[in-house]
Structure 1
Amino acid sequence: MRITGKIAITGVALAVAGAPVAAHAQASSASIAYHGITSAQQVQKFHELSGKGYVPVSLSISSGSSYAGVWVKSSGTAWAMYQDMSSQGYQKRFDEYTAKGYQPTVVTATGSGDAARFAAVFVKKSDKFVARHNMTSAQFAAANAAAIGNGLVPTSVDVYGSAASPMYAAIWSANASGVRWEVTANKTFAEHEAEFKARVANGYRPGYVAVGPGGTYTAVWRNDKIGGWFEYTGMSSSGYQSRFDKLKGEGYFPVQVNSEDGKYAAIWTK
């Protein structure tokens, strides 16, 4: 990552210190998911869940500073989370935490230019990784091509900016299993659905889905095999809640949720 210009941190610092209090919070014995909460409620959620031994594995900030997240029970992991940061603020935290032996595991952003806001989770570990933000579509494509050659796989992706000029933030982690993967970016709902059908027919599954400004979809496709799973896109807040309730009754829980402009995408597994 490069720093350009003057560093100025703006945001809420949530160093590690959980029971739902906001709308749409749902829980299983080892996982908790919520969506459609404000920045202030997200701060409260941090204190509630981290205090009960939960760690965020999925986090999404969308227009209007609306948050969605998935947390799981974990022990013995040193981590930190920061929200509502400027681009420069995120860069500052990145430099600070990587110097301490941490690396980002989740990055999410919304908005354009100086108004863009970021949230990120940092975990203390020494695995190989690359993280970049403020990438254009061309830069994101080049970064994915480089990642393949360097034995990495995308593990966190988000799209912000505008429909006319999307920007990308992403993390690539060590591809220890050697999974084959591909990325499709800036697809309409119909184009994403066509990609889904074609890729699933060829043995791939969506490993990560991000909603971009204007209702576009960027997805990471993996050819590894897991148990049962579902992926739904183009959902409203209530539509996501309806899917959540139905799938929870069948033993599924979201492992990744992303939102922008009131549209949700999520992946469930057992």
Structure 2
Amino acid sequence: MLAKIAIVVAATTVSLAGGGVAASADAPAYSAYHGATAAQQTAKFNSLRGQGYHPITVNVTSGPEYAAVWVKGESDGWSLYQGMSASGYQRRFDDAVKQGFQPTSVSATGAGDSAVFAAVFEKRGGKFFARHNLTGPQFAAANQRAAADGYVLTSVDVYGTADEPRYVGVWGANSGGAWFYTYGKSAAQHRAEFDARTKKGYRPTAVAVGPDGTYTAVWRKDGLRDWAHYIGMSASGYQKRFDDLTRKGLYPVQVNAEDGRYTAVFVG
């Protein structure tokens, strides 16, 4: 595994673990990093692409700094873009869709004309839709429409300001399984939601921390048994969880951060 870029900052970690932690022989070869500058991520892009890796999740936070997870394996085609404005992301989106690509992971930080976007696009079929610059009520309406039309929220991030958060999301065809979403939850509320949802067989599949410190999450009932989820981590706390969990056979599939607070989802 390639070296990880990390920033060491002391903070309290709130853990929300679930499922088993048995090692999986099916875990792919992967590489993860966080706290990367744009130049460092570009270097990682060139190195990992040359070794047959492709990104499955990307995050941009204040700085801007980047975090991502890459896995090794075949892909029909993909692209990764960073440092985009909202209009730049829209142009990349329009061009990519015309060529048969879909956004699979989209992240943003900052507000207004200063917002910075990063995104992964993959060449794939199937229906989807994507939106950005959504207010809370608009985000809720998009999810209600998605559920009614057979979509599921697959990527989400929160940016903007603490007083005026904005949401960016991607919704893809739901291949099966119930799902739910929550947004604007404090750490305590997210923990309560976690306890209630996991008792009913749900697990978090994507979690984002907003500029106001609240959490937005996608909950799915997919039957996966080996997984873990953590919130409220510093960069060094995320690094420690990463080291501990990967030794137990779990690897990160989604990482998100804002203003030094990290959240992540691991699976086995």
Do 1:20 and 1:45's aligned partners in 2 also have CA atoms closer than 8 Å?
A: no
Do 2:33 and 2:67's aligned partners in 1 also have CA atoms closer than 8 Å?
A: yes
**What's the Cα RMSD here?**
1.5
Do 2:68 and 2:255's aligned partners in 1 also have CA atoms closer than 8 Å?
A: yes
Query: What pairs with 1:75-114 in structure 2 (closer than 5 Å)?
Result: 75-114=74-113
Q: TM-score, normalised by structure 2?
A: 0.90
Do 1:140 and 1:168's aligned partners in 2 also have CA atoms closer than 8 Å?
A: yes
Distance 2:139 2:28 in 1: 37
Question: In structure 1, what residue type is equivalent to 2:161?
Answer: S
Do 1:209 and 1:266's aligned partners in 2 also have CA atoms closer than 8 Å?
A: yes
Deviations 1:96-141 (A, max 9, x none): 1101111111100000000000011111112110111111101100
Question: In structure 2, what residue type is equivalent to 1:191?
Answer: Q
Question: In structure 2, what residue type is equivalent to 1:248?
Answer: T
Query: What pairs with 1:22-171 in structure 2 (closer than 5 Å)?
Result: 22-23=5-6, 30-171=29-170
Bigger relative CO (Cα 8 Å, ≥ 6 apart): 2
1:225 is the counterpart of 2:232: no
Deviations 1:46-102 (A, max 9, x none): 111111111110110001111111000122421111110000000001111101111
Comparing 71-80 with 201-210, greater Cα deviation is found at 71-80
Do 1:54 and 1:72's aligned partners in 2 also have CA atoms closer than 8 Å?
A: yes
TM-superposed deviation, 1:227: 2.7
Unaligned runs of 5+ in 1: 1-17
TM-superposed deviation, 1:189: 0.8
Number of aligned positions between the proteins: 249
What secondary structure sits across from 1:92 in the alignment? helix
Distance 1:19 1:77 in 2: 24
Unaligned runs of 5+ in 2: 8-26
Question: In structure 2, what residue type is equivalent to 1:176?
Answer: S
**1:214 is matched with which residue: 212, 215, 219?**
212
Percent identity over the alignment is 54
Distance 1:76 1:259 in 2: 27
Question: In structure 1, what residue type is equivalent to 2:70?
Answer: W
Distance 2:75 2:107 in 1: 25
Counterpart position of 2:178: 180
Distance change (3 Å), C-alpha of 1:76 and 1:56 = closer
Counterpart position of 1:9: none
Distance change (3 Å), C-alpha of 1:76 and 1:67 = closer
Counterpart position of 2:17: none
**1:264 is matched with which residue: 262, 265, 268?**
262
Do 2:54 and 2:75's aligned partners in 1 also have CA atoms closer than 8 Å?
A: no
Distance 1:107 1:76 in 2: 18
Q: TM-score, normalised by structure 1?
A: 0.89
Distance 1:63 1:23 in 2: 15
What secondary structure sits across from 2:71 in the alignment? strand
Do 1:19 and 1:48's aligned partners in 2 also have CA atoms closer than 8 Å?
A: no
Distance change (3 Å), C-alpha of 1:164 and 1:30 = same
Counterpart position of 2:196: 198
